[in-house]
Structure 1
Amino acid sequence: MNYLPYDERYEKMEYRFCGKSGLKLPQISLGLWHNFGSVDVHENARKLILHAFDNGITHFDLANNYGPAFGTAEKTFGRILKEDLAGRRDELVISSKAGYLMWPGPYGNGGSRKYLIASLDQSLKRMGLEYVDIFYHHRPDPETPLEETMMALDQIVRSGKTLYVGISSYSPEETQKAAEVLSNLGTPCRIHQPKYNMLYRDIEKGLFDVLRSKGIGCAVFSPLQQGVLTGKYLNGIPEESRAGRPEGFLKPENITKEMLNKVQALSKIAESRGQTMAQMAVSWVLRRPEVTTAIIGARKVSHIDDALKASKNTKFSQEELKKIDQILEDKA
C-alpha cells in the first residue's frame, strides 16, 4: 500500500530557528541510534519514521556507525526514503556524523580529512542521497589538529555534500575554537549536538553561553538518559529495554539507586503537571531557549507520541524548577 502523509502534519509541530540561521528544526527530532539497524524489524522502523513525518517531525538524525551493525541504520533509512518518501526529500532535514570507529585501520576513526570525507561518501551511498542537510564531526579528536577537521567540514560544504556543518560533544572551549576556525574559513558552525537531560547537565556549565554568543543551534540527544527518565527501571530491568538488550549501550550497573530515587521523586512533579515522567523530561530540556530540538529515540509509536505531547507543554513555574533542582542536587 502506497504511503500518503497527513495533509495537516505541519500544523502539529512547532519549529525553531537553528541559532542565527534560516534553518528551522522541529522541536522533536527522531534519532536512529537504536531500533533501526539490521538486528531490528524493518516494518517497525518504517512505521516509526512515517508516523514521525505524519506528525511534523522533519528532522532525522543518523551517523555512520548507527545500527547495529555499523551503517545499517543509514541503509534502513535509505530504503524508506526510496520506497515511501520518494518525492519528499526537500521536506526533510537529514543529518549524519563521523568521528567514532567505523572501519578497521588508521583511516576509519577520528577527525582527519581523509576519514570524514570518505565516511560521508559512504553514508550518502547507503542512503541513496546526493547530500545531507547537516554533517557533524561526532566527537573531538585530540590526535588531529582542530584546523584540519574544520577545514574538512568546510570542504564538504563547498563540495555540495552537505548544506550545514556542526559538531557534537565538544566542550565549551573546543566549541569556541571550532566556531572561530570555521568562521574564518567562511563556513559557519550552525549546530552543536550535546548530551543533555535532567541527570546530565554539564552543558549548563558554559556551553549554552558559547552557543548563544556564536549563534549556534543546539540539538540535544539522550533527553531521557536512554530510558532511565521514563521511570521504566524503577521496578527492575525490562527484557526489551535498552539495558535489557545485549546490543544496548546502557548497562544495568550504570542505573544506580541514587538515580532511581531521583526519578521516583521527579515523577511526583510530573504527575502534578499532568505529565508522564518521560513527557516532563523532554519538556524540561525544551524549556531552554538555546535548545533548538530534542532528539528522541523510539521503539514504539507511543514513544513518539509521548514526546509530541511534551513539546506542547514546555513552560515550568519557578517553583517547579526549584523543586526539580533540589531533587537533582540531592546527593542522598
Structure 2
Amino acid sequence: MVFTAFDNGIFHFDLANNYGPEYGAAERNFGHILREDLMPYRDELIISTKAGFDMWDGPNGVGGSRKYLLASLDQSLQRLGLDYVDIFYHHCPDPNTPLEETVGALETAVTSGRALYVGLSNYDGPTLERAAAMLAERHVPFIINQNRYNIFDRTIERNGLKEAGKKLGKGLITFSPLDQGLLTNRYLNGIPADSRIAHDARFLNASALTDDRMKQIRALNELAQSRGQSLAEMSLAWLLHDDAVTTVLVGASKPQQILDDLAALDNTDFQQMSSQKSTKSLNNK
C-alpha cells in the first residue's frame, strides 16, 4: 500500500506515537519500509508524527507536558530511524497543562532539529488562536491543523476551528473523510461479515446505522452516481473542493482502495450542483 501510494504521487505519510494496534507499531513498520526501500526518496517525503494521547502508563505518558512531548518525539524518531520528522503535532489539547508549556515544547522540537514544522490536532477555534499567537511570537513554523471533518461531521464548522484556520492562513488536513466507512457503499445493503463494524466496534458501531442515517447515505449515493462517482469518491471530492482544506488523509486496507480514492481528483467541481440547486429554488418560488 505504501508503494502504491508513493508510485501514484502520494508523498505524505501521517503517523502518531500510539498508532497500532500495538502502540508504536505504525512507526516501527514505516521505519522498516523506509530503511529497506524508501530512504533514497526521503527528501521527497513528508513524514509526520504526533504525541498527546496516551502512550505509556503514568502522568508523563499522556497530555501536553514538555517532558511527555519531547520524550515521545525522541522515541518516535528512534522507531522511524530518522533524525527529524517534517511535521510534529500536538495530538490533542491538554486542560491539565498550561498552553505555554506545550507551545514551548513544540518550539524546542523545531529549534533542536527534531522537527521542521509543527501542527495542532483536535483543537477548537479559540484554543487554536491562542496557541498560534504564542507560536508566532516565538517564531515557530506552525503551518497546519489536523481535524476530523466529513459530510456528516461538521464539528469544525461549529467550534470555530475552520474559520480561525482560514483567518490565520493555516492549513487544514482532514481525517476520517469517509466517516469510518459510512460515506461509502459498504453498508448500503447491511453489515458485511468482513466489515469494521463486524470485527472492531471501537470507532464504528452498528448503532450508527439508524434508519435516518441510512436514508441519508442512500440519498448521497444517488447523488454521487449522478456525478459519475462512487459515494466514497464524492465524499473525498467534497473535501478537496473546499479552499480551506489543504489535503485529505485516507486510510486503506488494500492497494486498490488507494487507487479508487485517487479517482476523486477527477471531479472536485460542485459549482454546477450549487447552480442547479439555486435555479430549482427560484423555480419553486
Equivalent in the alignment of 2:193 = 239
State yes or no: 1:137 paired with 2:83.
Answer: no
Q: How does 1:189-268 map to 2 (within 5 A)?
A: 189-205=142-158, 206-246=160-200, 248-268=202-222
The CA deviation at 1:250 is 1.7
Residues 39-75 of structure 1: per-residue CA shift (max 9 Å, x gap): xxxxxxxxx0000000000000000010101110111
Distance in 2, matches of 1:49 and 1:121, equals: 24
Equivalent in the alignment of 1:92 = 45
The CA deviation at 1:318 is 5.1
The CA deviation at 1:195 is 0.5
Equivalent in the alignment of 1:303 = 257
Distance in 2, matches of 1:265 and 1:322, equals: 17
Residues 193-215 of structure 1: per-residue CA shift (max 9 Å, x gap): 01110000122233222112211
Distance in 1, matches of 2:247 and 2:163, equals: 17
Match of 2:138 among 185, 208, 229: 185
Match of 1:166 among 101, 116, 119: 119
Residues 117-148 of structure 1: per-residue CA shift (max 9 Å, x gap): 01111111111111100010011111111111
Equivalent in the alignment of 1:105 = 58
What secondary structure, in the 3-state scheme, does the structure 1 residue paired with 2:33 have? helix
The CA deviation at 1:100 is 0.5
Distance in 1, matches of 2:266 and 2:204, equals: 29
Match of 1:151 among 84, 104, 107: 104
The CA deviation at 1:320 is 4.9
Residues 287-326 of structure 1: per-residue CA shift (max 9 Å, x gap): 1111110000001112111221102211113535886xxx
CA, structure 1 residues 321+51, in 2 after alignment: closer, same or farther (shift >3 Å)? farther
Match of 1:286 among 217, 240, 245: 240
The CA deviation at 1:150 is 0.8
State yes or no: 1:64 paired with 2:17.
Answer: yes
Match of 1:75 among 12, 28, 34: 28
Equivalent in the alignment of 1:115 = 68
Distance in 2, matches of 1:215 and 1:317, equals: 24
With CA pairs under 8 Å and 6+ residues apart, which has the higher RCO, 1 or 2? 1
Distance in 2, matches of 1:194 and 1:277, equals: 21
Residues 186-239 of structure 1: per-residue CA shift (max 9 Å, x gap): 113210001110000122233222112211111100100011101211222223
CA, structure 1 residues 240+321, in 2 after alignment: closer, same or farther (shift >3 Å)? farther
Equivalent in the alignment of 1:269 = 223
Tell me if structure 2 keeps the 8 A contact 1:271–1:277: yes
Deviates most, 92-101 or 314-323: 314-323
Tell me if structure 2 keeps the 8 A contact 1:279–1:306: yes
The CA deviation at 1:246 is 3.1
Where structure 1 has 5 or more consecutive residues not aligned to the other structure, the ranges are: 1-47, 324-332
CA, structure 1 residues 296+169, in 2 after alignment: closer, same or farther (shift >3 Å)? same
Distance in 1, matches of 2:152 and 2:139, equals: 37
Equivalent in the alignment of 2:282 = none
Flag the structure with higher helix content.
2
What secondary structure, in the 3-state scheme, does the structure 2 residue paired with 1:226 have? helix
Distance in 2, matches of 1:58 and 1:148, equals: 32
Tell me if structure 2 keeps the 8 A contact 1:269–1:320: no
Equivalent in the alignment of 2:280 = none
Q: What count of residue pairs does the alignment treat as equivalent?
A: 276
CA, structure 1 residues 125+270, in 2 after alignment: closer, same or farther (shift >3 Å)? same
The structure whose Rg is larger is 2
Residues 81-119 of structure 1: per-residue CA shift (max 9 Å, x gap): 111112111110000001111101111101101000011
Q: How does 1:304-323 map to 2 (within 5 A)?
A: 304-317=258-271, 319-320=273-274
